Each structure stands twice: as structure tokens, then as C-alpha cells.
Amino acid sequence: MPANPQENVLPIEGSGRVLARYDRRIGSILAEEGKLGVEGIEQVMQLQQTNGLRFGEAALRLGLITEDDLRCAVARQYDLPHLLPGNESISGELVVAYEPFHPRAEELRALRTQLLMRWSRAGVRHRALAIASPGSGEGRSYVTANLAVVFSQLGERTLLVDADLRTPRQHRIFNIPDRVGLSAVLSGRADRGAVAPVREFGRLSLLPAGAPPPNPQELLSRPALGVFLQEMWADFDVILFDTPPAKLYADAQNVAFRAGNVIMLARKDHTRLADATSAIRELSDMGVRVVGTVFNAF
Ligand SMILES: Nc1ncnc2c1ncn2[C@@H]1O[C@H](COP(=O)(O)OP(=O)(O)OP(=O)(O)O)[C@@H](O)[C@H]1O
Ligand SMILES: [Mg+2]
């Protein structure tokens, strides 16, 4: 995925002082969630004293909580709102939500860090980003959806716009109706009311693609997209756009032009280097900032 996964360092600290704080917090999170009562906490602390275990480990050993309870509590401690396996409404593709400590989730957080650093260095105020790639099935929708969740997990007010008006998928990933969406906004038949909050992630909203229009490229080249984006800055800190394949249609160019920033995905053993290079060149020539290239190996 990102060029340098080592950039992403999880805040795990090893000193005794920090561990004490960690234990207290895990204990109080488990208590808040009703997983442990006063009696349980006392039992855990006794076992901790005799065995020197961490709070979570001791609670697990006593059979007072499950592995899932502990994972949830740790995720909450690190401010990683996440979903439990078996949640039927939201797609299992959202690895950052279901398995926040999975290596792929770490890579996606590393990508977020890279983006934030590059934007900060370049003094970018409006953080709008199109996720593009030359061909189909290269992982644009997957990366865009997961990236939107990791930005929202950081507390950023995040809007995901499904600007793939040809084969849209974000409404299915997030289980949001797509009757009204970007196509209606661009043709003046809907307004910001078409933006739907994603209940499961407090700070994330989705504008689905909506009904498939006969003229996606023409719609996306209208000034309406720029006007919509301007309006959205009052409510959002980060806006991400999913796009259709850049080699097949000019849609991604239009979207990237309005967003001002793009990342180019290349799928391992799939995307031709020449296609990625020429897509990057075309976008740069239009004045779009190519923030980086992401190698999607899956
Ligand atoms: N990094 C990844 N790890 C695991 N699975 C992935 C990864 N990237 C993509 N996939 C999977 O590959 C498939 C295609 O990905 P996706 O739909 O995101 O591609 P796309 O570029 O948006 O395709 P389309 O051209 O249809 O819009 C999906 O099933 C997705 O879950
Ligand atoms: Mg897609």
C-alpha cells in the first residue's frame, strides 16, 4: 500500500508509569461498558498483584471478559471507533473498522499520516482528495472507503463523495440508500440534504453517487461540482472522492481538478506502469497536485 509503512507508529509505550495508566483506563472502559462490575475489578486486581499481569490479560485469564471485549476496550482507548465482526450492515471490506490492529489497517493509517504531513508541508487549507487509478478493479473504492474511516477515526469531519457515477459502490459498502446523490446535486435536483451521515462512524458522511445519469462526464465537468465543494467546507475538514478508471473516462480528471489533490493507485501485477505514469502526467499538466502514488498489493 503506502510507500513507507514504517511511518505509522502506534502509540505503544513500555514504561511502568504508562502501563499503570493503561491498566486503569482499560479497567474503567470495561466497567463503563458494563463488562466488569466492582467485584470483577477487585478479582482482576488481586490476580494482577500476584501474577504481575496487565489488567486486560488478567481479566481474560479469569474468564470475566472475552477477547472481543478486550479488543473493543483497547480500540476505544486509542480512539479507534470500530465495529464488531458479524455486523451485517457495514461491509467487511472496512478492515480499519473491523480489525483496527490488522497490518492493512496500519498501512491505511500510515497513508493518512503521509497525506496529512504532505498537506501540512504544502500549506493546503482545503483538504479535498480524489483517489484515482488507470483501470478497473484496482482498489480505488476499497482504499477510499477505508481512508475515509481512518480520517474520521482521527476526529476529522470527513465527507466521502462517490464520484464514480458509472459503477458506484460506496453506498453498498456503508449501507446507505443511493436514491439521491451526487448526480442529483450536479443536475440541480438535490442539495446538501443528499449528504447522509454514516451512523456507525460519528464524524463520517457519505454523498452516494445516486441514480446513474446518461452523461456522467458532462455532469462532472459542470461548475456545480466546485460550488458544492465550496459549500461543504463549512461542515467538513476532509473530503475524499472515489472515481471511475482514469484511463477509460475523463471523469477522474474533472473530479481531481475540482479537488485539487489526487493520489494515484497502482495495483500490484495489474496496473501498467505506463498507464499510471501517463495518468499522473495528464493530471499534473492540469495543475492538480499529485500527492503521491499508492501501491495496492492484494
Ligand atoms: N488492499 C486491499 N486488500 C484487500 N482487498 C482489496 C484491496 N484493495 C481492493 N481490494 C478488493 O478488490 C476488489 C476490487 O476493489 P475495488 O472495488 O475497490 O476496486 P475499484 O478500483 O474501485 O474497481 P472498479 O473499477 O470496479 O470501481 C474488492 O473486492 C476489494 O474489496
Ligand atoms: Mg470502484
Angle between helices 140-153 and 103-122 (to 10 degrees): 80
**290 C-alpha to ligand 2 centroid (Å):** 19
Lowest-pLDDT choice from 9-23, 68-82, 172-186, 210-224? 9-23
**Which atom of ligand 1 is nearest the CA belonging to 133?**
21
Q: Which ligand is nearest to the CA of 105?
A: 1
pTM exceeds 0.85: no
Kindly give the number of the ligand 1 atom that is closest to the alpha carbon of 138. 21
Query: Tell me: the pLDDT tens digits for 104-121?
Result: 998 999 999 989 988 988
Q: What is the number of other CB atoms lying within 10 angstroms of the CB of residue 190?
A: 18
Q: Rounded mean pLDDT of the chain?
A: 87
Residue 23 in contact with ligand 1 by CB distance below 6 A: no
Provide, for the chain, the percentages of residues in helix, strand and coil under a 3-state DSSP scheme, each rounded to the nearest 5: 45, 10, 40
Among candidates 133, 188, 194, 189, which has minimal Cα distance to 160? 194
Going from the Cα of 174 to the center of ligand 2, the distance in angstroms, rounded, reads: 13
Contacts of 33 (CB under 8 A, 6+ apart): 69, 72, 73
* Reduced 3-state DSSP string for 20-86: HHHHHHHHHHHHHCCCCCHHHHHHHHHHHHHHCCCHHHHHHHCCCCCHHHHHHHHHHHCCCCCCCCC
Residues 222-235 pLDDT 10s:
999 999 999 999 99
Q: Contact at 8 Å (CB) between 112 and 151?
A: yes
Task: Please give the Cα distance from 107 to 253 (Å, whole number).
Answer: 26
Report whether residue 271 contacts ligand 1, using a CB cutoff of 6 Å.
Answer: no
- Atom 12, ligand 1: residue with shortest CA distance: 139
At the topology level, CATH places domain 95-296 in Rossmann fold (3.40.50)
Nearest atom, ligand 1, residue 93 CA: 31
pLDDT at 89: 83
Measured in Å, residue 267 CA sits from the centre of ligand 1 at 9
Which tens digit of pLDDT belongs to each residue from 130-149?
A: 999 999 999 999 999 999 99
Tens digit of each residue's pLDDT (9 = 90 or more) over 274-295 = 999 999 999 999 999 999 999 9
The residue extents of the domains of the chain are 16-77, 95-296
